[in-house]
């Protein structure tokens, strides 16, 4: 009696064995790529703000120290987004009638606060503390990227847990001398081994208890 | 013939032939394939699938609401963190043991009476494992995060906790399912080819054709087939033991009196086979009549399976005795109180029933009359199924209600949602079975032909 | 706190509407956003919490199917959902000294039935989030009681009265001002006749001052007082004994022999926190001199212990702490007092021999012997429930025993604003009302319509007044009958002052502007006085303050604000003389028939805390009952009336009756039944409404505490579920078994003092020994960490079971309440529970009971850790058993495998059930603790948020000075439970520091690990309980007390 399938079907059958596997792999890969991409992480995507505040101008240009605005970065878990008052210390003199700064003056007059859009947004079950990181030689730019080159602020890192752990598992790769913590232009030594060596010294010097850094309760409570 | 029977002890005398006389290759093929291709389904089949579907509906609705509201809908609490879900999981996994045992172990011991029942038992195994599979998902507090359990690369750079028995379960059960599926499918290929060739409808031929993978029954095909089948048999043999051993670790690894005991692995495996065979019989006894398979699934099969049940039943009973003995012998107040509480505490009813079902009732299997008569055997298997469910209930619940600190003792009772999930899973089981008998040969056609050949040559009876 | 801060809090008060909106902007709403603190609001958008609380809301169940799809999809997608945009809203002008993301602490006070309890209130970004005790304050000494801890919830309670209302309609302050002005105008013409002010017991100097002004301005006005917790018998007792009302101050640090005549001094009264502390000190005998409070024990030899005799007619925790306990009928307490008095030599006191015969002679002999041999160090305390004569007798006995000379007992002028006979005051009020002599009734706080004795028809009387004003924190039975209802400000949002039990003048300062348009009692009074309606509570308190301290008030005020109270304002002792006349004893008390004893509810008091979910769900001492009151009786008595647990009975007294469920209570005096007041509220919010029954209706104004005649009890066929935090099936049988197992397993180890001296390590010898460290497949030293390593000890000899630790933990760790139904299922969420075990035969007249707080033990070999498939609970390098909520998938394997059953599972989204979804409750949450979602396991982690804060601060400080030691000074880092514990039973610290308090306690020979024999190596250990029975009675109690072998 007649065959149900033509001979060629055999080829299809064989191909499907390989094909199936490939499709599966493809799906997984694509999914994880998307998951790590700016589409979801928002990395390198500048956020619109009520006032187009430029770190490039203030930090890169005027060379204002981070702590001038982010006052509590050394004392508290939060770095503090400056109150309108801080802006007004200068802008009551400079650019007083600039269109761009209207919202700031508005807020100062009405007492109604500015509403900035959060750029670095950790999940609420993660308890990050600026003061300890700064005290132990983690520089601003290590996490916030080359802030001095950002006309509008964007997220420089994914904030994935894996990213946190890069440092918490091997801080020597990222630590820098204390006096360079707020230095946005600081660059680690070009040579890898040299860099690591310096890092290890700092870990020693800062008395960083590395194994403790991976305790769950260090970040999660 | 009579000459031989004399010097065979009565217990070992065959009660009936493997297949009723008067069959040839053609009649066998027709008898089985016609159920699928020609005959209309018998009325009971419609009843079964109807029940199955409605229960399945209950499962769907109740689980949806469960995901919606939270596990509070169930009876679980502090201290009883595990309830019906785990009981059902273990029960279904246990039931899923008959399949591989028959197909693998009996194959390797080359027990010819497996021929007529292995296809069916394996199918049942797969469905039972599916039923078991739904419970972990219902059971966890945050089902949407359950992927944490699988060792996938992720942006947290975290792996699951490989020391946890629950993780071992994931591997054990998925492996078991995969292998059983392969085994079953491989066995199906020649029959699928038969169906392809016998079916008149184009669509049917097409589908059976695809799954028959171009089987032509050439000598080479057969050679490869036998080889593959034997290999798979060898592979899955250890699984029969491993799976329920690992499931038993969920309890044995813990510190809870009544869980923390070394007898569990063997006693769980025995229990599994026990309940597995019980379930096979429960399903098979009516089905063979509905579909007129009495010629191929004879009293002989029932008798043999009953004997296996008797043996494993006794092992289980031995397990119960061990538990009690260890509790006393340990001298530990926790263990002794656990046993005492089990027998006399608030949940004594469950313990007593379980003893009646699992320790007393199988004793009837000593009687040939029970082993060879469908009705009593059928009822008895039902009792055993219930008993095995109760066993898990007693282990999971009573141990948790009263453990170390009296101040933290509690109570447990399943709610309507617990029951919904349970009967729902039974619905899934019935539904799958109905589909199976509708679309696939419930008995291995080609093996029956081989068997017929052997019978004709008087190699076997 | 500097004046500038005051400005920040007090700037621009406006009309209610704009006020609340204004706060929105200026205070808390934005503040917590920019440190990423968790509020459910943010949380619901998070991976951690895919199930949106709002969707889970039961009201929303209708669109169940609709949203179902969405939620399933969410379920699938959570892992790759993008975070929604969030706003950062900084200050415009930041308040001074405030560092974003840091707590600020303010010394203040809360009211403890009218008296001051000094507290330190924690403020986060302008939101009060926690209350702790104030170390320097005499009534607190750094600890608090459960109600003080829970008062933070009162502030944010959704059941609060939010706006001024007139006849049920919204009204404004100005309308109120006008109306009152009119009414006062009329009254003014007749010297204020017809003006009546009804208050609860208060010690506020400001109120006192204003009332004085009022009485001056309106000579005819009346000041009435009614307070169910008003301690009236104490006042009357003093009056009877000395001819004047004084307050009694007891210095338990000097007390070696204590007799409590039905007094629950460890848990009730304005000084109980202080008394509990001092008493604990006298109990902490240490054979080895590591006694932490060595100094405080100056009057005791290092291994000496006080001895407590308790005679009570309803079981209390004080009774549970007794060395010798006697349960008796109400009337027999007086007999006991009399016989003791006459035997110690109080002149012309006679005891009815018939009654005395009913008492245990040997007991009395031993007692009298002890009292007479410890002159100057023996004291008798009379209970509030006992009639004045018993108090008078107590005073007489104390006088004879030289307690007054030795300073053990001090008499001072009552700190109350107006110490008066409240029973009489209430009577006069009712008469005035009924004679329609009251034209304007100003009710400041309280709820007389609900809590007046049933023999008084308050509602009817009230309706005869043309204008009624009620100042109240919540809308209740009384508000319903008042024209004007004015929300009362909470202690954390308004200025005020109070006096402590010893007269210390304490300042109440607000941390936040009133959430609603609320006012204080002082403001209402100033309004009645016709002062400028914009006068603030601040002005009034300041005015009174300068009135009191004149010239130096400015300086004193500044100091008082930072300290919380005014130094050196303790009242000087007054010399009083016992008048030596005790009226002859009243007729014989009936010994047949059921006797009803009324008691304040142990958790919700007289009902004033009924709307507080934390207190409602706090298991009541000894019974573990929650959310209800009941008829407590001894099982034998129950048998007599053929009653069983949870049977509903009808109690009838005169024409009043209540339906009460039966609660079997072991050790309850037989033939006596206890009813707790405070339940059965009809007009109240979700939490309080229709819970339990109102026992006030049975009360008689002449004898409010006991009814020993004409009580009829009728059993009904119905039963009523009582939600207790322990097994429900067959309470008698299961409690017997529990008690037996508790002994077999040596869970609570106790012994007598003498035995302890012979065999200091008796506790460690009991039970099986823990397996050798080496008996493990792993590295035995795996869990010995260098550096910081946390541990805890709980001294059972100090713990009296008051359960404040449970509430403190609940407040600190954002622990939700679950409601009655869930408690009944055994799903309460408390991280630290107080276990109660009875000892001996449940059917004895008195049973010994011991209490054991059980938090997570932080086992070094934690059974919960290896079984979690996702590593949701892991061991930290500081020996903590971390719980990672966002990793947990909810298999509950850890909870099953926890031998201590201290893990709690969120079976539902409890954070938003049981009326807990009110937005204002989010402001109360501790920003440093994750708010747990549905399906997640949670448990105690030694307040890891506090540990982290302390460690980080220490490290930052060290880094600043380039030092490489992280020094967290012992005692600066305390857990919530430890801080709250009045008797300092809990110690926590670094066990690697041999000199830390916790290390010393662990070296103590009484130290033992709970269930250590199963090899969990708990980091939390217990110190065995000691008792100090009289040698004379040793025979009787010996086997009961001596540690079993």
Pairing of strands C257-261, C195-199: unpaired
Q: Which of A156, B279, A140, A128 is nearest to C948 (CA)?
A: A128
Q: Which tens digits make up the pLDDT trace of C88-107? A: 888 888 887 788 889 999 99
> Which of C277, C263, C253, C110 shows the shortest CA–CA distance to C802?
C277
Mark yes or no for CB contact B155/A160 under 8 Å: yes
Q: Which residues of C touch A215 (CB under 8 A)?
A: 874, 876-878, 880, 882
Check if the beta carbon of residue B67 is closer than 8 Å to that of residue B137. no
pLDDT > 60? residue B396: yes
Please give the pLDDT value at position C59. Answer: 37
DSSP code for C929: S
Q: How far is C444 from chain A (nearest CA, A)?
A: 37
- Which of the 8 DSSP states describes residue A180? G
The pLDDT assigned to C49 comes to: 35
Measured distance CA(C303)–CA(C287) in Å, rounded: 5
Q: What is the pLDDT of residues B327-342, one digit of tens each?
A: 999 889 999 999 999 9
pLDDT band at A7 (very low <50, low <70, confident <90, very high): confident
Chain C hits for A169, CB-CB cut-off 8 Å, are none
pLDDT band at A54 (very low <50, low <70, confident <90, very high): very high
Reported as a pLDDT band with limits 50, 70 and 90, residue C58 is very low
Q: Which of chain C's residues have a Cβ under 8 Å away from the Cβ of A83?
A: 90-94
Q: Is the pLDDT reported for residue C39 higher than 60?
A: no
Q: What span, in angstroms and rounded, lies between the C-alpha atoms of C649 and B390?
A: 39
User: What is the rounded (10 degree) CA torsion for C279, C283, C289, C294?
Assistant: 10
| B145: contact with C, CB 8 A cutoff | yes
* C93 contacts A85? CB cut-off 8 A: yes
Confidence (pLDDT) at C15: 32
More confident residue, C1040 or C182: C182
pLDDT tens for each residue of C679-711: 999 999 999 999 999 999 999 888 889 998 889
How many C-beta atoms surround the C-beta of residue B61 within 10 A? 13
Mark yes or no for CB contact B407/C836 under 8 Å.
yes
Q: pLDDT category, B241, cuts 50, 70, 90?
A: confident
- The mean per-residue pLDDT over the stretch C995-1005 comes to 89
Which residue in C has a C-alpha nearest to residue B405's C-alpha?
Answer: C900
Interface residue C1014 vs chain B (CB under 8 A): yes
Residue of C nearest to B62 (CA): C65
What's the confidence (pLDDT) of residue C79? 43
According to DSSP H, which parts of C868-932 are helical? 893-896, 919-922
A13 contacts B214? CB cut-off 8 A: yes
pLDDT value at residue C77: 45
Q: How many CA atoms lie within 13 A of C872 on its CB side?
A: 28
Phi-psi region of B416 (alpha: psi -120 to 50; beta: other; left: phi over 0): alpha
Determine which of A58-72, C34-48, C692-706 has the lowest per-residue pLDDT on average.
C34-48
Q: Above 50 in pLDDT, residue B2?
A: no
Nearest Cα to C402, choosing from C461, C345, C325?
Answer: C345
Angle, helices C1031-1041 vs C361-373, to 10°: value is 120
Asked if B198 reaches chain A (Cβ–Cβ under 8 Å), the answer is no
Nearest CA to B32 among B292, B284, B283?
A: B292
**B52: pLDDT strictly greater than 90:** yes
Three-point CA angle C908, C913, C917, nearest 5°: 130
Q: Which residues of B touch A158 (CB under 8 A)?
A: 155
Asked if pLDDT for residue C999 goes beyond 50, the answer is: yes
Q: Is C136 helix (H, G, I), strand (E, B) or coil?
A: coil
State mean pLDDT over C486-496. Answer: 94
pLDDT category of residue C83 using cuts at 50, 70 and 90? confident
CB neighbours of residue B53 within 10 Å: 14
Pairing assessment for the beta strands C1025-1027 and C1020-1023 based on DSSP bridges: unpaired
Give CA–CA dist C503/C271, Å, rounded. Answer: 11
Higher pLDDT, C940 or C21: C940
| Interchain proximity C89–A114, CB inside 8 Å | yes
Give the sign of the dihedral formed by CA C180, CA C184, CA C187, CA C189.
negative
Least-confidence region, from B282-296, C78-92, C877-891: C78-92
- Residue-wise pLDDT for B277-326, tens only, equals 999 999 999 998 998 888 888 888 888 889 999 999 999 999 999 999 99
Structure tokens at B12: 């070992």
- Helix, strand or coil for residue B395? helix
Instruction: Work out the average pLDDT over C971-981.
Output: 93
pLDDT bucket at A1, cuts 50 / 70 / 90: low
The first and second tokens of residue C848, run together, are 């010994």
DSSP state of C476: -
Query: How far is the alpha carbon of C818 from chain B, nearest alpha carbon, in Å?
Result: 11
Average pLDDT of chain C to the nearest whole number:
86
pLDDT number for residue C355: 82
| Tokens 């790759």, residue located | C80
Say how far apart CA C83 and CA C1021 lie, in whole Å: 44
Our CA angle for A98, A100, A101, nearest 5°, is 70
| Residues in chain C closer than 8 A to A133 (CB atoms) | none
C951 has pLDDT over 80: yes
Q: What is the pLDDT of residues C516-541, one digit of tens each?
A: 999 999 999 999 998 888 899 999 99
C307 and C293 Cβ atoms separated by less than 8 Å:
no
Q: Do C891 and B166 touch (CB under 8 A)?
A: yes
In tens, the pLDDT along C193-215 reads: 889 999 999 999 999 999 999 99
Please say whether the beta carbons of C866 and C686 come within 8 A: no
Instruction: Give A190-200 pLDDT, tens digit per residue.
Output: 888 998 999 99
Identify which has the larger pLDDT, C771 or C902. Answer: C902
**Which pairs count as long-range contacts for B20-27, CB under 8 Å and 24+ apart, including other chains?**
B20/B294, B20/B295, B20/B296, B20/B298, B23/B295, B23/B452, B24/B452, B25/B449, B25/B452
Whether A4 sits inside 8 A of B156 (CB atoms) is: no
For A75, the closest of C46, C99, C964 (CB atoms) is C99
C-alpha span between C764 and C783 (Å, rounded)? 22
- Picking from B155, B206, B209, the nearest residue to A162 by CB comes out as B155
Cβ contacts of C824 within 8 Å, gap of 6 or more = C721, C723, C724, C728
Q: In the predicted model, what is the mean pLDDT of residues C277-303?
A: 76
Under DSSP, is residue C545 helix (H, G, I), strand (E, B) or coil? helix
CA distance B179 to C75: 30
* Ordered strands of the C165-166 beta sheet: C169-170, C165-166, C484-487, C467-472, C440-444, C195-199, C222-225
Which pLDDT value is given to residue C12? 34
Smallest CA–CA distance, residue B187 to chain A, in Å, is 19
Neighbours of C185 (CB within 10 A): 10
Confidence of residue C50 (pLDDT cuts 50, 70, 90): very low
Contact between C998 and C990 under an 8 Å Cβ cutoff? The reply is: yes
Rg (C-alpha) for chain B, rounded Å, is: 23
Stretch C1001-1027: mean pLDDT, rounded? 92
Q: What is the pLDDT of residues C127-155, one digit of tens each?
A: 999 999 999 999 999 999 999 999 999 99
Interchain proximity B205–A4, CB inside 8 Å: yes
Instruction: Tell me which chain C residue has its CA closest to the CA of residue A70.
Output: C100
At residue C590, does pLDDT exceed 90?
no
B152/C contact by beta carbon, under 8 A: no
Chain A: residue whose CA lies nearest to B213: A13
Inter-chain CB proximity B214 and A35 less than 8 Å? no
Check residue C61 and give its pLDDT: 39
Residue C845 confidence class, pLDDT cut points 50, 70, 90: confident
For residue A215, list chain B residues with Cβ-Cβ distance below 8 A. Answer: none
pLDDT for C36 beyond 80: no
Q: Is the pLDDT of residue C953 over 80?
A: yes
| pLDDT in the model for residue C505 | 95
DSSP string for residues in A90-135: HHTTTTTT-STTHHHHHHHHH-PPP-EEPSS---TT----HHHHHH
Give the rounded percent of residues in chain B with a pLDDT score beyond 70.
Answer: 97
pLDDT confidence bin for B12, thresholds 50/70/90: low
Least confident range of B189-193, B306-310, C291-295, C804-808 = C291-295
Q: Do B70 and C56 touch (CB under 8 A)?
A: yes
Mutate to test the interface with B, among A2, A3, A4 (most CBs of B within 10 A): A4
Residues contacting B334, CB < 8 A, separation 6+: B257, B403, B404, C745, C1014
B14 vs C1003, higher pLDDT: C1003
**Reported ipTM exceeds the 0.95 cut:** no
Nearest to C30 by CA among C90, C85, C86: C90
Q: Over chain B, what is the mean pLDDT?
A: 89
Q: Return the half-sphere exposure (C-beta side, CA atoms, 13 A cut-off) of residue C720.
A: 23
Residues 395..414 of B with a Cβ closer than 8 Å to C: which? 400, 403-411
Task: Express each pLDDT in B164-207 by its tens digit.
Answer: 999 999 999 999 999 989 989 999 999 999 999 888 888 888 89
Per-residue pLDDT tens over the stretch B258-278: 999 889 999 899 999 999 999
- State whether B209 and A160 contact (CB < 8 Å): no
Give percent of chain C with pLDDT exceeding 90.
Answer: 66
Position with higher pLDDT, B104 vs B151: B151
| Nearest Cβ partner for B196 among A4, A35, A36 | A4
């Amino acid at each position: 009696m007649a065959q149900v399938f033509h001979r060629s079907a055999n080829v299809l059958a064989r191909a499907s064995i390989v094909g199936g596997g490939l499709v599966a792999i493809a799906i997984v890969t694509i999914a994880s790529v998307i998951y790590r991409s700016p589409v979801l992480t928002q990395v390198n995507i500048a956020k619109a703000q009520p006032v187009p505040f430029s770190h490039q101008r203030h930090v890169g240009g005027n060379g204002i120290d981070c702590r001038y605005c982010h006052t509590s970065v050394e004392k508290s878990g939060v770095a503090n987004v400056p109150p309108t008052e801080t802006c007004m210390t200068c802008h009551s003199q400079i650019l007083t009638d600039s269109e761009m700064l209207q919202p700031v003056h508005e807020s100062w007059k009405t007492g109604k606060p500015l509403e900035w859009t959060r750029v670095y947004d950790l999940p609420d079950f993660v308890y990050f503390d600026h003061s300890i990181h700064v005290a132990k030689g983690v520089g601003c730019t290590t996490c916030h990227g080359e802030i001095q080159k950002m006309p509008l602020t964007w997220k420089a890192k994914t904030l994935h847990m894996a990213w946190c752990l890069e440092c918490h598992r091997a801080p020597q790769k990222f630590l820098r001398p204390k006096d360079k913590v707020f230095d946005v232009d600081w660059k680690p030594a070009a040579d890898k081994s040299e860099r690591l060596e310096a890092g290890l010294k700092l870990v020693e010097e800062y008395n960083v208890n590395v194994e403790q850094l991976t305790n769950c309760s260090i970040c999660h409570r | 013939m009579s000459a031989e029977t004399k010097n065979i002890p009565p217990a070992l005398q065959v009660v009936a032939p493997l297949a009723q006389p008067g069959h040839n290759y053609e009649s066998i093929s027709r008898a089985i394939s016609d159920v699928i291709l020609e005959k209309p389904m018998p009325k009971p089949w419609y009843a079964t699938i109807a029940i199955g579907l409605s229960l399945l509906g209950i499962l769907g609705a109740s689980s949806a609401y469960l995901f919606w509201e939270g596990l509070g809908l169930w009876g679980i609490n502090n201290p009883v963190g595990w309830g019906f879900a785990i009981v059902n999981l273990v029960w279904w996994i246990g039931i899923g043991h008959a399949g591989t045992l028959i197909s693998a172990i009996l194959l390797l011991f080359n027990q010819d009476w497996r021929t007529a029942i292995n296809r069916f038992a394996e199918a049942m195994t797969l469905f039972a494992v599916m039923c078991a599979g739904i419970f972990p998902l219902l059971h966890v507090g945050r089902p949407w995060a359950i992927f944490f359990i699988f060792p996938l690369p992720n942006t947290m750079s975290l792996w699951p906790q490989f020391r946890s028995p629950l993780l071992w379960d994931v591997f054990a059960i998925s492996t078991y399912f995969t292998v059983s599926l392969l085994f079953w499918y491989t066995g199906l290929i020649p029959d699928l080819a038969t169906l392809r060739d016998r079916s008149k409808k184009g669509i049917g031929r097409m589908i059976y054709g695809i799954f028959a993978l171009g089987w032509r029954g050439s000598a080479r095909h057969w050679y490869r087939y036998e080889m593959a089948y034997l290999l798979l048999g060898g592979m899955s043999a250890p699984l029969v033991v491993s799976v329920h051993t690992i499931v038993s670790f969920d309890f044995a690894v813990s510190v809870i009196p009544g869980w923390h005991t070394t007898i569990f692995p063997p006693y769980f495996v025995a229990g599994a086979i026990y309940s597995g065979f019980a379930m096979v019989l429960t399903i098979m006894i009516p089905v063979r009549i509905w579909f007129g398979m009495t010629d191929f699934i004879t009293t002989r099969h029932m008798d043999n399976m009953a004997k296996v049940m008797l043996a494993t039943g006794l092992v289980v009973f031995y397990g119960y005795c061990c538990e009690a003995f260890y509790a006393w012998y340990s001298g530990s107040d926790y263990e002794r109180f656990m046993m005492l509480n089990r027998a006399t505490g608030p949940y004594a009813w469950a313990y007593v029933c379980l003893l009646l079902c699992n320790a007393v009732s199988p004793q009837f299997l000593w009687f040939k009359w029970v082993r060879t008569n469908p009705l009593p055997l059928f009822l008895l298997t039902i009792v055993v199924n219930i008993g095995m469910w109760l066993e898990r209930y007693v282990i999971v619940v009573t141990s948790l209600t009263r453990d170390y600190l009296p101040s933290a003792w509690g109570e447990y009772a399943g709610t309507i949602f617990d029951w919904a999930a349970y009967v729902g899973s039974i619905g899934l089981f019935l539904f799958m079975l109905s589909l199976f008998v509708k679309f696939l040969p419930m008995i291995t056609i080609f093996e029956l032909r081989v068997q017929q050949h052997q019978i004709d040559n008087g190699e076997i009876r | 706190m500097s004046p500038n801060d005051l400005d920040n809090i007090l700037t621009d008060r406006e009309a209610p509407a704009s006020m609340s909106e204004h706060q929105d902007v200026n205070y808390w709403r934005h503040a917590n956003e920019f440190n990423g603190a968790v509020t459910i609001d943010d949380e619901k958008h998070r991976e951690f919490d895919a199930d949106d609380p709002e969707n889970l809301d039961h009201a929303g169940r209708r669109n169940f199917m609709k949203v179902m799809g969405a939620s399933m999809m969410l379920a699938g997608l959570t892992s790759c959902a993008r975070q929604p945009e969030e706003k950062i809203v900084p200050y415009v002008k930041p308040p001074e000294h405030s560092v974003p993301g840091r707590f600020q602490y303010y010394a203040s006070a809360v009211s403890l039935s009218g008296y001051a309890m000094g507290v330190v209130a924690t403020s986060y970004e302008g939101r009060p989030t926690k209350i702790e005790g104030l170390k320097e304050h005499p009534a607190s000494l750094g600890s608090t009681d459960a109600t003080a801890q829970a008062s933070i919830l009162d502030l944010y309670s959704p059941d609060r009265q939010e706006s001024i209302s007139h006849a049920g309609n919204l009204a404004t302050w100005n309308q109120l001002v006008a109306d009152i002005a009119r009414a006062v105008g009329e009254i003014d013409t007749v010297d204020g006749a017809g003006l009546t002010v009804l208050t609860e017991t208060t010690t506020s100097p400001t109120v006192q001052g204003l009332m004085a002004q009022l009485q001056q301005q309106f000579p005819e006005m009346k000041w009435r007082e009614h307070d169910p917790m008003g301690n009236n018998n104490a006042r009357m007792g003093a009056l009877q004994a000395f001819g004047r009302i004084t307050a009694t101050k007891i210095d338990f640090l000097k007390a070696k022999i204590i007799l409590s005549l039905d007094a629950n001094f460890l848990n009730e009264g304005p000084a109980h926190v202080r008394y509990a502390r001092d008493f604990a000190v006298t109990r902490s005998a240490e054979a080895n001199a590591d006694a932490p409070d060595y100094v405080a024990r100056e009057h005791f030899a290092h291994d000496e212990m006080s001895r407590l005799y308790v005679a009570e007619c309803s079981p209390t925790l004080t009774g549970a702490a007794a060395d010798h306990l006697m349960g008796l009928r109400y009337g027999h307490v007086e007999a006991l007092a009399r016989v003791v008095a006459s035997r110690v030599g109080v002149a012309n006191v006679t005891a009815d021999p018939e009654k005395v015969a009913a008492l245990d002679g040997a007991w009395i002999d031993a007692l009298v012997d002890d009292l007479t041999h410890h002159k100057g160090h023996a004291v008798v305390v009379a209970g509030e429930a006992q009639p004045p004569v018993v108090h008078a007798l107590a005073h007489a006995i104390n006088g004879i025993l030289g307690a007054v000379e030795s300073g053990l007992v001090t008499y001072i002028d009552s700190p109350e604003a107006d110490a008066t006979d409240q029973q009489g005051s209430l009577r006069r009020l009712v008469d005035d009302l009924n004679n329609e002599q009251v034209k304007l009734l100003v009710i400041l706080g309280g709820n007389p319509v609900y809590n007046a004795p049933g023999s008084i028809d308050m509602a009817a009387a009230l309706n005869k007044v043309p204008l009624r004003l009620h100042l109240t924190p919540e809308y209740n039975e009384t508000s319903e009958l008042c024209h004007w209802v004015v929300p009362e400000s909470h202690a954390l949002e308004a200025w005020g002052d109070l006096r402590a039990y010893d007269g210390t003048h304490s300042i109440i300062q607000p941390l936040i502007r009133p959430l609603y348009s609320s006012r204080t009692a002082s403001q209402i009074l100033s309004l009645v006085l016709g002062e400028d309606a914009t006068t603030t509570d601040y002005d009034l308190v300041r005015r009174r303050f300068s009135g009191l301290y004149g010239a130096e008030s400015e300086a004193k005020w500044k100091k008082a604000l930072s300290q919380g109270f005014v130094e050196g304002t303790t009242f000087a002792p007054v010399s009083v003389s016992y008048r030596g006349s005790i009226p002859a004893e009243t007729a014989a008390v009936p010994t047949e028939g059921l006797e009803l004893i009324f008691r304040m509810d142990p958790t919700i008091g007289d009902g004033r805390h009924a709307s507080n979910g934390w207190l409602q769900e706090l298991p009541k001492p000894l019974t573990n009952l929650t959310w209800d009151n009941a008829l407590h009786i001894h099982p034998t008595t129950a048998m007599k009336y053929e009653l069983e647990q949870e049977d509903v009975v009808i109690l009838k007294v005169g024409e009043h009756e209540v339906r009460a469920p039966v609660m079997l209570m072991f050790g309850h005096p037989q033939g006596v039944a206890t009813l707790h007041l405070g339940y059965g509220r009809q007009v109240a919010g979700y939490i309080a409404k229709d819970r339990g029954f109102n026992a006030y209706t049975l009360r008689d104004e002449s004898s409010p505490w006991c009814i020993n005649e004409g009580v009829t009890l009728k059993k009904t066929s119905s039963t009523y579920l009582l939600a207790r935090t322990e097994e429900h099936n067959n309470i008698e049988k299961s409690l017997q078994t529990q008690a037996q197992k508790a002994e077999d397993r040596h869970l609570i180890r106790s012994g007598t003092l003498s035995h302890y001296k012979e065999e200091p390590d008796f506790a460690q010898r009991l039970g099986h020994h823990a397996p050798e460290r080496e008996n493990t497949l792993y590295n035995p030293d795996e869990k010995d960490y260098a550096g910081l390593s946390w541990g805890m000890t709980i001294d059972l000899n100090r713990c009296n079971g008051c359960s404040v630790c449970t509430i403190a933990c609940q407040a600190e760790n954002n622990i939700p309440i679950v409601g009655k139904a869930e408690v009944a299922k055994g799903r309460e969420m408390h991280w630290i529970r107080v276990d109660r075990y009875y000892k001996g035969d449940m059917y004895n007249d008195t049973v010994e009971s011991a209490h054991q707080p059980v938090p997570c033990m932080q086992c070094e070999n934690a059974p919960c850790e290896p079984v979690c498939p996702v590593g949701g609970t892991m061991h930290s390098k500081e020996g903590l058993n971390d719980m990672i909520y966002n990793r947990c998938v909810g298999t509950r394997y850890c909870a099953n495998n926890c031998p201590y059953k201290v893990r709690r599972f969120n079976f539902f989204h409890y954070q938003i059930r049981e009326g807990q979804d009110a937005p204002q409750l989010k402001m109360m949450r501790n920003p440093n603790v994750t708010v747990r979602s549905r399906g997640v396991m949670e448990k105690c982690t030694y307040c890891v948020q506090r540990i982290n804060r302390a460690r980080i601060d220490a490290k930052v400080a060290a880094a600043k000075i380039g030092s490489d030691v992280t020094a967290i000074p012992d005692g600066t880092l305390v857990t919530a439970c430890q801080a709250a514990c009045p008797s300092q039973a809990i110690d926590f610290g670094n066990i690697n520091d041999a000199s830390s308090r916790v290390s010393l306690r662990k070296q103590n020979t009484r130290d033992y690990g709970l269930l250590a024999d199963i090899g969990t190596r708990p980091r939390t250990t217990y110190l065995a309980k000691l008792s100090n029975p009289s040698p004379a009675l040793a025979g009787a109690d010996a086997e009961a007390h001596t540690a079993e072998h």
